Structure 1
Amino acid sequence: MEIKDLKALLEKRLDRPEWKMTFNKDEETLRVEHKELKKGVTLSLKPLAAKYEQQKEAALDEVVRYVESALRAFDKKAELKGNEKDIFPVIRATSFPTETKDGKELLFEEHTAETRIYYSLDLGDSYTLITKEMLEDEGMTEEKVKEMALFNVRSLPCEVKEDTVAGNTFYFLSSNDGYDASRILNETFIAKMNERVEGQLALAVPHHDVLVFADIKNDQGYDVLAQLAFQFFSQGRVPITALPFLYEDRELEPIFILAQRKPKGK
């Protein structure tokens, strides 16, 4: 689908008197903003166009729900105290902004060369990223919020689906709760998956609604994982990175650095 055609479909579906839409031709993005609150979301149309080719109206339905829930969230007052169980870490690309549109500094920390960890307050049908100003207003420390977020993500279910391609086993975690990629921070879960594999464990977080594990047993496994990661990355509503990682000694290392390595035996 052409970007201009997708833009027209979205403008029709997202037409609200209280919203305004701004198209950036160079970046191929559509900004949907609440006129009064001056807050909104920016949609990247290129990956959405690819997703539309496969899912048609279902892809548009998902985007509309996302925009509606996100803009409704701006009307809600986000309070951390009393909602500690709803604080979660979220994985984002290193290109993701470190402050809000109105200049408030987001709470984040570095994760890998490709990813950062941000922190969010779940609002039910949406979420808001936690700013340092929110911590100051409620008298909470960064350490406490990070501790609660990691505790909460460890409490999430970790059910995976399994598939085998070219002698390599792939596991997919996609519960669509907004924190699938965040489960990469559950060290106990990752360690269990490492014990489960027979070859080399590799992981990918191409977008925020999927976490991929690969039991790499031959050279083809690297190629298949790279293709899977790129496909998911191009289709994700919140893309993170198309670059997979090898898991060794409790560390994540980008596969492009170790591309010539052979999978180790157990």
Structure 2
Amino acid sequence: MKMDGRKMAGIIKERLKGENRSFHFDSKNDVLRIDNTVTGKGLSIEMGRVIANWETAKEKAVDEVVYYAEQALHVMGTEHSLTGREKSIFPVIRSTSFPEEESEGNQFLFDEHTAETRIYYALDLGNTYRLIDKRLLDKEGWDPERVRQVARFNVRSLPTTLKKDTVAGNIFYFLNTNDGYDASRILNESWLREMKQSVKGTMAVALPHQDVIIIADVENDTGYDILAQMAMSFFASGHVPITALSFLYEDGELEPIFILGKNRKRTE
């Protein structure tokens, strides 16, 4: 069956239809918008990404999108508290194109990270989480710096178990626990320093989507090409894509680089 955006939107709509939900399909941009008619909150799903995953995973791809959408819609209709749940506050990495505020103008708490990424903050709810915003901070009487400190402390407690692969003389490490905070481990500075000490060549990092970090011990130019291909592949298949670019890790800093064939170029 040939799949297009309208057909996929119809499938997802059928799976998600329920009381107090409205749907709008933007055929120009291939985006399905789902709103809670009571709260006025909702989410948008890009059909292009869903179809790309569907072409390889078929129904599993649809099941995953429906699951995440259900969780997100549930969170939007529920009141939450930070107080007493300090151990459930974590940073999350997003692309710089990620919205800075909700549709009604409620600004998320975020910090700049690299030229390609930002740090947002989330309250973990078990199967999902909600981003911390100004309205929640005001309601709780929390200072933003308190959230930052708690989140940074908590991310250091997350496990950093790695899988290892060697390709063309280069070593690639993969962190993929699927706990929602894999990319967040990039903020664990002591772990990055340990990895830097263990690599023999140049340390490069990729953050293609929320649920993976790739660390490369690059020994030759082919290693950069392989990392670029991996990053693009993961970026295209991730539920929450971040960036297809890679980073050099030098002097405790992440510097985005373009990798074109055997040429490497730092971004300005």
Pairwise CA distance, 1:195: 1.6
Pairwise CA distance, 1:260: 4.1
Q: Tell me if 1:183 matches 2:185.
A: yes
Q: Could you say which residue in structure 1 is the equivalent of 2:13?
A: 11
**Structure 1 unaligned blocks of 5 or more:** none
Q: Secondary structure at the match of 1:79?
A: coil
Q: Could you say which residue in structure 2 is the equivalent of 1:174?
A: 176
Q: Could you say which residue in structure 1 is the equivalent of 2:115?
A: 113
Q: TM-score, normalised by structure 1?
A: 0.94
Q: Could you say which residue in structure 2 is the equivalent of 1:226?
A: 228
Distance 2:145 2:219 in 1: 40
Q: Tell me if 1:152 matches 2:130.
A: no
Aligned partner letter, 1:255: I
Give the 3 Å change call, closer, same or farther, for CA 34–133 of structure 1 in structure 2: closer
Aligned partner letter, 2:133: T
Alpha-carbon contact 2:5-2:27 (below 8 Å) kept: no
Aligned partner letter, 1:133: R
% of aligned pairs identical? Answer: 52
Pairwise CA distance, 1:4: 2.8
Pairwise CA distance, 1:18: 2.6
Pairwise CA distance, 1:3: 2.2
Pairwise CA distance, 1:8: 2.5
Distance 1:101 1:60 in 2: 25
Q: Could you say which residue in structure 2 is the equivalent of 1:95?
A: 97
Aligned partner letter, 1:184: I
* Root-mean-square deviation over aligned CA pairs: 1.7
Summarize the alignment of residues 65-104 of structure 1 with structure 2, pairs less than 5 Å apart: 65-104=67-106
Q: How many residues align?
A: 262
Distance 1:240 1:67 in 2: 18
Aligned partner letter, 1:201: M
Q: Could you say which residue in structure 2 is the equivalent of 1:128?
A: 130
Distance 2:79 2:10 in 1: 33
Superposed CA offset, 1:207-228 (max 9, x none): 1111111111110111111111
Pairwise CA distance, 1:128: 1.0
Superposed CA offset, 1:71-113 (max 9, x none): 1112321111111111110100111111111111111110000
Q: TM-score, normalised by structure 2?
A: 0.93
Distance 1:37 1:261 in 2: 48
Q: Could you say which residue in structure 2 is the equivalent of 1:256?
A: 258
Q: Could you say which residue in structure 2 is the equivalent of 1:33?
A: 35
**Structure 2 unaligned blocks of 5 or more:** none
